[in-house]
Chain A
Amino acid sequence: MADIALKEPALRRSVFDGLPLASKAAAACALEPLPPATRLAVRGRPGVAEAAAAALGFPLPTGVCQSAEGGGRAAFWLGPDEWLVIAPEAEAATLAPTLEQALAGVPHAIVDVSHRNVALTVSGPRAAYVLNHGCPRDLSLSAFPVGTVSRTILGKVEVVLWRTGPESFRLECWRTFAEWVVGFLNEARREFE
């Protein structure tokens, strides 16, 4: 029987399975789980940002709370020497080695956190207001324009919040906090049901 497990790679199970994401409030603020992704925590000495371009197709952003995108990949500035790189799931086995190669000349660290984080889209005309129930950042378009990314908090949980459009955000959190995050956002958007 054990041989069966070898032949069929163990199934993935999303933390969002069974969570109450649908809501009558969706017109004001919708929650949608995002598919699995390749995620790399990238750290390193100065020079990493430029060197990464060889693997990513673009350099890592160096401006505070900036993001960069290209070829289905995105990189988030989280700190002066810290980035989160997100790529399609299909690159799970290849992206890290490619990036290792590109950064070979600069002291660095790449750690696979593909399964540590999960992501959902928070979108709609009241998305920022709903997020502001737990996130103390100014989420107005002038203070937090499209493309801004911030490691911040949502209530009692650390999140990475990336503005993907005037009314949409990608919210990343650690997997075990997803249930709380969904519950919290549901509570916050209940007035729009």
Chain B
Amino acid sequence: MKNHKFSIYTITGFNKNNLQLLRLLIQQALTLRYKRSVFGIGWTLLNPMLTSFILWIVFSFLFAGKLQTGQQFAPYLMAGVLLNTFFQMGLLQSANSVSGNRNILTKVAVPPKIFAFAAALASFANFLIGLIPLTIIVYISGQGLELTFPIVFIIGLLLALFVAGIGLTLSILFIRFEDTTNVVNALLLMLSALTPIFYPISILSKPVKFIVTLNPLTSFLDLFRWSFSNNAIATWKDFAYISIISIGTFVFGSFFFKKHWSKTIAML
């Protein structure tokens, strides 16, 4: 039936049924989050705005003047909040998705990777919805959307790969050792402190700045802010860096998962 060598099936290693299942899982995650909550989808739009608003009250008088000319603090902050939520929520949900679906995985032969993917992609979808309030903030603060705006989708997909890669690795560790959850939570807190979510990189001292620029999330964030409303400086180096990191992490995660899954499932 399939004559072409490169179909979506051969690339992902999933068959048609697996992709249908993936779609259903993403739909499920979104339905559960929005449709059934009191505020519905309005909450998704409101939530990042409220979080950003509070951070804006606290930090705007400290940092607003430290940004480069032409850059605005409100969209800078909100872009940071959105991307960080995408990363942290996607990561935790992806890492917990395999053990959370243990009653399915120990009974039905489905590729367990699907659950980790679905969590990462659902978080991506959530991020895309969050771009709507961000657009509003961009225009309120006197900026406009840039023509480079579609690059955001590529950045988002790369971040989803990054998230799924770490998620796959952690999902094995979470099942094997319960206390990895605590370690990971502490590491995530440190990581978000080392990500320029609400502070400009320019205020940092040299050694801290060095660490922060090494953080791949910094590159993700710079690229996102730059492509969306030209609110940061990003170069092709950032792009190369996140591409390598994301694909590398994803390949490692898939490999690690494949290697350890057959023994881990016996522990579920």
Partners in one complex: no
Interface residues of A (CB under 8 A from B): none
